[in-house]
Amino acid sequence: MEGKRILVTGGSGLVGKAIEKVVADGEGRPDEQWIFISSKDADLTNAADTKCLFEKHKPTHVIHLAAMVGGLFRNMKYNLDFLRNNLHINDNVLHSAYEMGVQKVVSCLSTCIFPDKTTYPIDETMIHNGPPHTSNFGYSYAKRMIDVQNRAYYEQHGCKFTSVIPTNVFGPHDNFNIDDGHVLPGLIHKVYSAKQNGTALSIWGTGQPRRQFIYSLDLARLFIWVLREYNEVDPIILSVGEEDEVSIKEAAESIVAAMEFKGELIFDSTKSDGQFKKTASNHKLRKYLPDFQFTPFNKGSSGASESSRDVYWLFTGSYHYDITVGTVISALKCHVMMQQAAL
């Protein structure tokens, strides 16, 4: 039997890099050829470019990650761009996959796209049950359309196109930009700068909102499982359990402890909190994979350990972070240097 050619769009991003690493570290199989692409290979907002890319690589399978992605504040500023770019990218990728006879596509949604007013925990059946939070409606509606398209491609053409719904992802190759990035890398960057400058740490919002965080390499393993084993068109939530949800304040305190920051913490409540919580159920995932082990967000959160040993995931390498440590520090230094050069 001929092997699989697996095209990963968004291969240069946080999740794509994690899949590349997991594949390189032994999850890949001899009959699989993995192709990781970025926007340098094709602008997926452009239909002709996307078609050319598919004709060039002739994938049998696709993991579709490419998207305009950003944290709360970038979403609030550019809702139209998030909507249009992501609608174009998703339509181009799914239609090229259909035209090329791709056997399976796994696309990526997000728990950010669930209805703002809802009951908890949220599950896979509730995606379309009401408007998303106003802060990121552009991104959310574009992502929701992937699920609609998957159903339509299945009903009209029998395509095996499905999607996964991860919670907030953290790991190597994250975006450490304070204005544009997600909460954890943004906080790490702010603590780094506050330490350098001897200033207080300003945390945007009240610190009360709650989030579930998934380590990118755990997510990568689950993506590969979905590609090989999961046969539903309906999406599946990829998340740690509800009991592992933490507040932004707790997350900030963990980072502060891990980085041994001794200065003052200020919560700037003039800045938006975004959606208060989006607690997701991983019940469906647990039915398939009851024994999957997630990397703990903060090993020392019980308070039993010394502060410098909290948040092992960040700096000590106790879990998978031996490589991450170097990546985080150099990414931060690089970013700070670039900012200074721009001044």
- Build a one-symbol-per-residue string for 91-130: x at contacts with ligand NAP by CB under 6 A, - elsewhere: -----------------x-x--------------------
Is residue 238 involved in binding ligand NAP (CB under 6 A)? no
Q: Rounded to an integer, what distance in angstroms lies between the CA atom of residue 40 and that of residue 12? A: 10
Is residue 138 involved in binding ligand NAP (CB under 6 A)? no
Is residue 166 involved in binding ligand NAP (CB under 6 A)? yes
- The per-residue DSSP string of 249-306 comes to HHHHHHHHHHTT--S-EEEETTS---SS---B--HHHHHH-TTPPPPPS-TTTTS-S-
Is residue 132 involved in binding ligand NAP (CB under 6 A)? no
Is residue 255 involved in binding ligand NAP (CB under 6 A)? no
Please report which residue ranges of the chain form alpha helices under DSSP H. Answer: 14-22, 47-57, 72-77, 79-99, 137-157, 183-197, 216-229, 248-258, 283-288, 312-315, 321-342
**Comparison of 43 and 273: residue with beta carbon closer to ligand NAP:** 43
Give the binding range for ligand NAP (CB under 6 A) out of 25-33, 166-174, 253-261, 318-326: 166-174
Residue whose CB is nearest to ligand NAP in the complex, by number: 13
Q: Is 139 a catalytic residue?
A: yes
Task: Indicate which single residue of 38, 177, 307, 316 sits in contact with ligand NAP (rule: CB under 6 A).
Answer: 38
State the pairing for strand pair 246-247/210-211.
antiparallel
Residue 61's closest CA among 227, 272, 290, 190? 227
Is residue 181 involved in binding ligand NAP (CB under 6 A)? no
The nearest distance, CB 89 to ligand NAP, in angstroms, is 6
Task: Indicate which single residue of 4, 28, 33, 39 sits in contact with ligand NAP (rule: CB under 6 A).
Answer: 39
User: Do 199 and 266 contact (CB within 8 A), yes or no?
Assistant: no
Q: Rounded to an integer, what distance in angstroms lies between the CA atom of residue 28 and that of residue 30? A: 7
Give the binding range for ligand NAP (CB under 6 A) out of 8-16, 95-103, 120-128, 264-272: 8-16
Is residue 71 involved in binding ligand NAP (CB under 6 A)? no
Is residue 14 involved in binding ligand NAP (CB under 6 A)? yes
Contacts with 40 (C-beta within 8 Å, 6 or more apart), sequence order: 12
Tokens found for residue 76: 């609030």
DSSP 8-state symbol, 25: I
Is residue 63 involved in binding ligand NAP (CB under 6 A)? no
Q: Of 78, 139, 215, 321, which is the active-site residue?
A: 139
Give the binding range for ligand NAP (CB under 6 A) out of 66-74, 145-153, 193-201, 222-230: 66-74
User: Do 37 and 7 contact (CB within 8 A), yes or no?
Assistant: yes
Contacts with 256 (C-beta within 8 Å, 6 or more apart), sequence order: 191, 201, 265
**Comparison of 215 and 261: residue with beta carbon closer to ligand NAP:** 215
3 state DSSP class of 70: coil
**Comparison of 142 and 194: residue with beta carbon closer to ligand NAP:** 142
Residues of this chain that bind ligand NAP (CB under 6 A): 10-16, 38-40, 42-45, 65-69, 89, 108, 110, 166, 168-169, 175, 182
Which residues carry out catalysis?
139
